[in-house]
Structures are given as C-alpha cells and as structure tokens.
Structure 1
C-alpha cells in the first residue's frame, strides 16, 4: 500500500467524519477537502480546482437558472394547479404523482435536469397545499435518481456500460434491457415514501422562507382555501346581493372576485347582485363552501380557473393593515366607507387593540385595529400612499408591463434546452444555452441572475469532485475493489451480487458514478467469467448500482435539493439508508431473476 493510498484514505475518513458529525457546513467540508488534497500531493492544484469547470457543476448552475426562469414566468403555477386538480392536496398523493412524473422524465433526460424542471412546480404545490418543502423535495430528488435506471440512455453509467461491454467482446444491451429493473426500483421508491415518508422525512420547513402572504396567514391562523363556483340558471342566488345572501354571517365566506361576460370585478361591493352565468371566487373552508353551494344550488369548480391569478403569490395575497392614530377612518365601520367599492380589497378579519376578533363589517374602527385583507398587490400597494392605513406586510412589487407575460419566451428557452439534450449535445452547453436565452429574452432580469443560483450547492459539488479523482488516481479505488471482490469469490452467487451492489454504492458516494462504473465493470466481467456467472448481468448490476447514491448529498441531485429543502446530512442518512437497502435488495433480486 503506497503513501498516496494511505493519504487518500485519511482524507476520505476526515470527509466522512465531518459529514456525519456536521461540525462544519457541508459545502465548507467539500471546500476543505478540495484545499487539503493538493497539499498531500495525491492530485495537482489544477485537478483540485477542476470541479468548477466540470460538466456536472456547470449543468447544475444552468438548470438552476432554467428552473428559476420557468418559475418566475408563472409556468409552474399552471403545472402545480394541474397536478393538484388531479391528485388533490393529500401529501402522499402529491409525493407519488410528482415522483412518478419526474422518474419517467429522467428516463430520457439527465436526472439533474428532470429534478430542476420539477423543483419550481413542487415548491408552488407545497405553498398551495401548505406542505413543507422538506416533505416533498427529497422524494422527488430520489425519484429523479431512480428514473435514471429506466433506460440505457437515462444515466451516465448506463450509457458508458455498452461501450465497456463491446470493448470486452460482450454483446451490448438494447435501449430497454434495464427497464424491468428500473421500473421495480422506481415503484419501490414511490411506495417507500408513500407509506413511510411521514416517518423518515424531516419536519423542518427548510430554507424556503414563508412568503409575506403566508406569514400573515400563519400568524393569524387563517383557514380555508380559494374555490371557484358558477351560478347556473334557476339558482335562488340570482338577483340577491352579496349582503342579502348573507355570505359573511351565515356561511363565513368571503367573495374575492366575480366574472360576468369576460369582465372581472375584484372584492365586489356588498350591493353587487348575483346573475346567472357568473363565476365567483370565494374564500372559506370546504364545509362552508359545500353548505353555500347546496343552499343556492351552485356548481363548484374546485380550484380557481378564471381567477388563477389570485393563487399566484406574485400577484395577490393576504396583507396586514393597521389603523394609525390619526386615521380619518377611526370610529367608522367598513360599510360606512364602502371599503370594497373604494379599495377593491376584501377584508377577511379584524383584531382590535385588546386582541379580540371583531365583525369585519359592523364594528367601528379604532386606532391600533389590525385588518387582515386579501387582494391584488397592485391594489394593496396603493394604500401605502394613504393616511387611512399603515401597510405592515411587505407588498410584492408589481411586475413591469414588459415582464408580466413571459411564459412563451420561458417555454421556448426550455424547449431549446431539452431539444439540444435529446439531440445528444452536452448537458451543460444545452442548458446554459437555454439560460442565456431566458436572460436575453427578459425572462430573468439581469439583477436576478446571480441570486438565482444556489452557490452553496455549486461549491459542494466542485469540492467533492477532486475526492473522486484522488480516490481513482492514487490507486485506492482499485485496491479496495480488488480486495472486496477477492473475498467475495468464495461465497455464493447471491452473496457476490450483494457485494458488487454494496461496493458500487460506496464508490459512487465518493467518486463519479461514471468513474465507478468504468473501474468496476472490467473487474466484475473477469469475476463472472471465473465463477460461471453471466458477466453482462454483473456489469448491468454495477451500472444500475452506481445510481444508489442516497446516503449523503454527494450526488448532484441530492446536492441540488439540499438547500431548498433545508436538509442536513443526518436527513439523508435517515431516509437514504433505508432507500439504499431497498435499492440493493430490489436490484440484486431483479438481476438474479433476469441474468443469473
């Protein structure tokens, strides 16, 4: 054993210790390893910093920009709305649906691209359904990795596998040779989080901070969701005003908007009458909405259709107002000042200075009264210039006119990126082309380019790449592989398959999964020939097991979701250890079934 191998083992042990104990932040551990390695002489300075120019790191930066642009343009609001309409708000159903979708997408594009594509939609869904990011992002990320085992072009290890087989004189696999294994693995991952997600996923909300609207809703414990109903011919609601229908007192509902003949009225005045054919956006609990629709024979549409802009937190939301001491409204009730008619904002709740909840329409306003309102930010923004109210909530500034509809440029940029990937161009170049298109077309403003990138993730990946180079270049990887495989030779076929799966998993945690495949495939081919086991089956197991990277955030997908999900290393160990064991069992069983 050479000095270089001993030094590499020492640095690897240090990295594992720091990752597990969390004495340092993950990205700082990676940078520390990157700095230590060239001082050992195992790799050169250029190799130590080569991670910043690697295809993986550049790809991650590019997909962050792509994801940010698509989300900012409002595309993912539509996607989130569609998913929630199909699967509802149940946490397990959302996890299963999004995991299945991202897994399938990963079968024909790089898993980091699939994860980046779905992250904004999942963030939007989490906000709508009030589900913490930490409950959604990890299952989606794991599914993206598992989806990389569905076809022979879904991940780097499977792509390189056929080249290695042909070089050794063996027959190459066809496109769907791995699909039975991949389907079993993806189904296992989906079922794992569906039934056990609540036990293994952290409760923390992650670094996804609450929006101003969400903070107001959480602080004042506001319940209920936005729903759209239509008024059919013959409804007893026709001809009644909002006040006469007694929505506030009898049903505890708020009318957020009306639409008739294509014209929308936001926060309609209490004297506004209902007419046949109207669409109405209301705010309230499911039970209250049901009672209202049954009483007036209305047609419930579920989520918002014509008023989807009210669900976009960049356009509308809850805000907190306070009546200042010198407000001319002191002593007056909302109905006296025609609040809705004047300001186009819907009052939801009052809290008097002594903390009591009051009637939002009848009780006179006092100095210090807190009003919780819902409306479009552009309408709430206008209150800032008035003497009547003090706006406490940070109002989301309205987008300039030229920024309001960038869905088509965003989708065009994304389509260009995906087309380039499918045509075989390098992932980093393909996605950076799309990112630059988004910048040039105004989807991403220039001042938002750098904040859109999670730099901790960039440094984490760039710092870990040299560790893989040192492990391979020093000879530590080959020494370890030969030693373990040599011991396994005396055991049975199943034991050999498990050993190959375990060693590939461990190698893939600390070096490129492609490098692990290149290193191990020739060894297992020789091993298969010696022990009378189909070498192609063992090689397939290596390429599949190279995706078994769930224990630590060293895989680029895990690193990508770590920041937004607020995950710690311990979270990956908790959820990832079980996933790794399940992956190992399923992949070994399927390999044995298909190839042995």
Structure 2
C-alpha cells in the first residue's frame, strides 16, 4: 500500500467516526476531510472542488426547488390526501403504500428524481396522519433504490453491466431482464424495511410557531368567523355598481362590512390565476359580477342584499373544515392577524370608526377580544380599550407595514412568515404539470437528467409556484448539498490512490479459487462495501470488467456476477452520503448518521445474503 492510499483510508475512517458520533455537523466533517486531502497533496484544488460542479449536486439543488414548488402549491397535500384515503390512518398500511408507489416510479425515473417528487408528498402525508415524517422518509429513499432493480433504465449500474456484456460478445440485456430478480429484491427488501422501520425515530417534529402568535386556524375558530361570513354576487342591474364603498356607507346603514372582493381579471395566460382577491377599502368601486364577502348577522346581510339586488350565494358559509374556514379569510394575498395596544397607544378610548384603521392602514377590524369575550357586531361605535385584542384583516403587505407601527399597535406573530406558509392552491395544477413534464423528459432522456430538473426548477419559479428566487433558495437544504459535494471528491481520492482497485482485485482473485458461490459473494459484498464511499455508477464501472474476467477465467457464466455488481451498487443504505436520495431525506426526517447505520446496515447485509443465494436460480452459473 502506498503512503497516499494509507492517508486516504485514515481520513475516510476519521470522517466515518465523526459522522457516527454526531457531535460535529456532517457538512463540516465533509469539508474538513476535503481540505485535509488537498493540504496533504492527495487531491488537487480542482479535484477537491469538482464535487460542487458535479451534475448530481446541481440536480439535487434543482430537485429541492421542484419539491418546494410541489409543497408550496398544496399539490403535496392533495396527493397525500389521496394516499391517506387509500391507506387509512394505519402507519403500517401507509408505509407499504409509500414504498410501493415509490418503487413503481423508481423503475422508470432516477431514484433521486423519484425521491424529490415523493418527499413533499410524504412529509404532508405524515403530518396529516399525525406521525413523524422520520417514520416514512428513510423507507421512501430505500424504496426508490429497490425500484431501480425492476428495469434496465432503473439505475445507471444496470446500463453499465448491459454495455459490459454486449462489448464482451454476450447477449444484450432487454428492458425487462431485471424484472424477475428485481421483483424478488423488492418483496424481500420491503419486508425487511417493514421490520427494521421499528428502529426509526418516533418523535413528531415540532413545527415552527409564530412569535407569541396563534395560528390562522385558531384565530378563525376563536373569533367565530365562519358563523358571520356570507357571500353575495353583484348582478348586472344592481344598484351598488360604479359607487365607492365610502359613498355607499353600508356599515352605518346595515351594520354589514364588506371585507373582501373577488373578481375576474383580464389575464388570458393560463399560467396566471384568473380570480383576483382585493381587500375592501373606502375607495373600492364595486363592479358587475363581483363576489363580495360580507360580515354581519344574517338578517342584516339579507336586508342589504335585497335592497341592492344582490344574489345571496349561500345562506351561510358553513365550513367543512378548519382549513376551508381559514381560506375564506386568508390566502396568499390577504390575511388575518391579531393586534394588541400598548399602554401609551393613541388609539385607546377612540371609537373603531374614528381609529382610521381602514383609511390609514388599509385593514378591517373584524372583532375585538375583551376580557375573554368576543365582540363581533356593530363595532363602529365601540371604543377601543387598553387590554383589547383586535382581529384585523388586510393584505399581508399592509399587515406587515402595520407591524412596524409599534408606538400605537403591536402585531402578534410574524405576518410575512405566516403569509409565506400559506399554500398557493390555485397553482397546484401548474405544479402538477411541471412535475409530469420533468418525469416525461427524464424517461424519454430528451436532455441529460440534470437539465430536465433545472428546466422544471426554473418553471416552478417562472410560473409563480414559488414566490420568487428568495423562496426558491429557502427550499434548498444546504447541509445536504455541502455533504454530497464534499464527499464526492473522497471517492476520487479512493480511486486515484488505487485503494478501490486493490481491494476489489485482491478479494475477487482470492475467492475465485474456492468456487463460483464464494466468488459471487465476494463480488457482491465487495461492491456493496465500496458503494458506501464511491458513486454507484463508478462502482459498477470499476467492478463490471473485474467480475466478467473472473467469471470467464473460472469457466462460468458472467451474467449472475454482473447482476450482482448492478444490484449491490444500487443497494446502498448504511450511510447518508452514499446516494443523493439518502441525503435528500436526512434533514426532513431529522435523521442522524447512526439512524442509517441501525436500519440501513442490516438491510444492506440481509438483502445481500438473499441476493447471493437467489441470483444463481435466475441466472445459472
């Protein structure tokens, strides 16, 4: 062994120990290992930085953005709702449903792309089912690898061994050559994951709450918003059109407040929404066919609608769920918030109609909480007292500006963060189309996979599925990106110093004398070990010719050995940085390095034993 080889293996071992200890962040360990290899002159600076320009790292960035778009548009919640109906609330059935769906997609799409599509759906599913995402996400990543064994295009190692066999004069593999052994691998792997998943973390991660604030759902429920909300539509001959709300003076005449207007816009482009939501202000002009959201007691709303010849769309907006209730008052444009008054506020002892909330801040007061009671009607003459909490509604921008007026008003919570968390439900069909478009491009291989992903990521931002580039950057888990980018050069060092080639050749040559089964086991488990540290494609490229030569020299068919290489290279579960899918789910599942070792290592070993035993039955020596 050369000095460079020994140093590389020592650095790798030290990194593995730090990963397992969990005392140092994994991305910091990866970067320190990288810098150390440069300082010791094992890697050149260009080689050390090559990981961050690697197509896998760029693709992971794009996939995080695509996943963010799927989540932000509510598409993930819709899809998870369908899966929840299918599987029920049983964690066992949910796990099977997630794994089978992921494996099916993984048979035709790269495992990285499969996990990117499924990850936001599964996180939403776990939240809806009130279980920890960590119970489902690692099985999701592993199932994507199992699915890769079902078809020729499932993973790159499958294509590598097909090309190796073809060049050596053997029959080329067909699209479904992998399917029989792949199905067996899928069944055994799924069964093992179901057993080992009991070792996964059970804690349900706590969401980030607003600063001292209550959620939108809690506010809507406590102020009984749904009990006083009605919708009316303006007819073509209505007396209310062409006049401003200030001129109409509806609150004084009917004790009814128009709080929101929804009207059709002139946008023809299908990528943009066609219904515009506007907060009602003094200078707002009512147009024909507008839908008005009005707030007041039913008798007053009915009298108002009859006088102005408005169509009462529903006698009362009876909400089917808390979420729908919130959507009536809050969207990505308009929101609700609670405000408090400091002791020195100039608004204390002023009547609501004189407070200037609507004129000065462009917000409506929907209710007042006073000593545990809620005042919801005829608020205009009510005096604001110290200790009152006011429920307001307006655009998120207006609420955010209001939060800066700390001398008179204190806004509870963080309006901009709350607004950013509201899904863009009207964009869900667009996000679904982009996701499908990306999958089709990847299946047909119209462009390299990384380009297909970047096109999808750009479309997510360009069509408004994400709120601009800042929102896109926030979807990226940079710890995972740095971890993978820092560990890819480690595989270069292992190959460059000859450590990989030495290990593989020594092991295979020594086992070849024992017999075909021993050689098969040697090929499989050597590949399985090396794929922990170098990419599955590189591992297959390295081992395929070695396995082919060893089998020919032994006088047996090379087919089972090459299948062993392909399957072992793809079945990498014991460490988080070995494959992009493992890294993609690490943060969302709140996994530690040892979680992968506890669940992934026995899975990798047991599946290996099963494959070594079964491969000769499908592909005889």
TM tier relative to shorter chain: 0.7 to 0.9
Unaligned 5+ runs, structure 2:
222-290, 303-312, 350-362, 377-383
Verify the 8 A CA contact 1:37 1:43 in the aligned structure 2. Answer: yes
Report what 1:110 is aligned to: 110
Q: In 2 relative to 1, CA 401–58 (structure 1 residues): closer, same or farther, beyond 3 Å?
A: closer
Report whether the alignment pairs 1:560 with 2:584: yes
Report what 1:229 is aligned to: none
Q: Which sits farther off after the overlay, 448-457 or 473-482?
A: 448-457
Report what 1:589 is aligned to: 613
Report what 1:392 is aligned to: 412
For the residue of structure 1 that corresponds to 2:12, the secondary structure is: helix
Report what 2:238 is aligned to: none
Verify the 8 A CA contact 1:27 1:459 in the aligned structure 2. Answer: yes
Q: Which sits farther off after the overlay, 505-514 or 87-96?
A: 87-96
Q: In 2 relative to 1, CA 464–383 (structure 1 residues): closer, same or farther, beyond 3 Å?
A: closer
Instruction: Give the deviation of 1:429 after TM superposition.
Output: 1.1
Verify the 8 A CA contact 1:421 1:430 in the aligned structure 2. Answer: yes
Verify the 8 A CA contact 2:68 2:472 in the aligned structure 1. Answer: no
Report whether the alignment pairs 1:186 with 2:186: yes
Q: In 2 relative to 1, CA 474–191 (structure 1 residues): closer, same or farther, beyond 3 Å?
A: same
Report what 1:64 is aligned to: 64
Verify the 8 A CA contact 2:337 2:399 in the aligned structure 1. Answer: no
Q: In 2 relative to 1, CA 117–200 (structure 1 residues): closer, same or farther, beyond 3 Å?
A: same
Verify the 8 A CA contact 2:146 2:185 in the aligned structure 1. Answer: yes
Q: Which sits farther off after the overlay, 5-14 or 53-62?
A: 5-14
For the residue of structure 1 that corresponds to 2:544, the secondary structure is: helix
Report what 1:301 is aligned to: none
**Whole-angstrom CA distance in 1 between matches of 2:435 and 2:450:** 13
Report whether the alignment pairs 1:138 with 2:168: no
| RMSD of aligned Cα (Å) | 4.6
**Whole-angstrom CA distance in 1 between matches of 2:433 and 2:13:** 46
Report what 1:24 is aligned to: 24
Deviations 1:36-62 (A, max 9, x none): 223333332211111111111111111
Instruction: Give the deviation of 1:194 after TM superposition.
Output: 3.7
Report whether the alignment pairs 1:426 with 2:448: yes
Verify the 8 A CA contact 1:56 1:556 in the aligned structure 2. Answer: yes
Report what 1:405 is aligned to: 426
Q: In 2 relative to 1, CA 566–320 (structure 1 residues): closer, same or farther, beyond 3 Å?
A: farther
Q: In 2 relative to 1, CA 593–381 (structure 1 residues): closer, same or farther, beyond 3 Å?
A: farther
Report whether the alignment pairs 1:522 with 2:535: no
Instruction: Give the deviation of 1:132 after TM superposition.
Output: 2.0
1:439 paired residue among 439, 452, 461:
461
Report what 2:319 is aligned to: 281
Unaligned 5+ runs, structure 1:
224-262, 285-303, 330-341, 353-357
**Whole-angstrom CA distance in 2 between matches of 1:314 and 1:127:** 21
Instruction: Give the deviation of 1:539 after TM superposition.
Output: 0.4
Instruction: Give the deviation of 1:345 after TM superposition.
Output: 8.0
Deviations 1:498-540 (A, max 9, x none): 3322211111110111111111111122222333442111100
What TM-score do you get using the length of structure 1 for normalisation? 0.73
**Whole-angstrom CA distance in 2 between matches of 1:542 and 1:266:** 67
Give the 5 Å matches for 1:219-238.
none
Report whether the alignment pairs 1:210 with 2:234: no
Give the 5 Å matches for 1:39-438.
39-201=39-201, 203=203, 205=205, 209-210=207-208, 212=210, 280-282=318-320, 309=327, 392-395=412-415, 398=419, 405-424=426-445, 425-438=447-460
What TM-score do you get using the length of structure 2 for normalisation? 0.70
Report what 1:502 is aligned to: 525
Q: In 2 relative to 1, CA 283–159 (structure 1 residues): closer, same or farther, beyond 3 Å?
A: same
Deviations 1:309-361 (A, max 9, x none): 589997999988879889989xxxxxxxxxxxx999899xx998xxxxx8989
Deviations 1:292-317 (A, max 9, x none): xxxxxxxxxxxx8x879589997999
Larger Rg: 2
**Whole-angstrom CA distance in 2 between matches of 1:579 and 1:528:** 27
For the residue of structure 2 that corresponds to 1:405, the secondary structure is: helix
Verify the 8 A CA contact 2:153 2:159 in the aligned structure 1. Answer: yes
For the residue of structure 2 that corresponds to 1:175, the secondary structure is: coil
For the residue of structure 1 that corresponds to 2:134, the secondary structure is: helix
**Whole-angstrom CA distance in 2 between matches of 1:546 and 1:592:** 18
For the residue of structure 1 that corresponds to 2:426, the secondary structure is: coil
Instruction: Give the deviation of 1:96 after TM superposition.
Output: 1.9
Instruction: Give the deviation of 1:83 after TM superposition.
Output: 1.6
Instruction: Give the deviation of 1:202 after TM superposition.
Output: 5.2
Q: In 2 relative to 1, CA 477–398 (structure 1 residues): closer, same or farther, beyond 3 Å?
A: closer
For the residue of structure 2 that corresponds to 1:19, the secondary structure is: helix
Verify the 8 A CA contact 1:324 1:390 in the aligned structure 2. Answer: yes
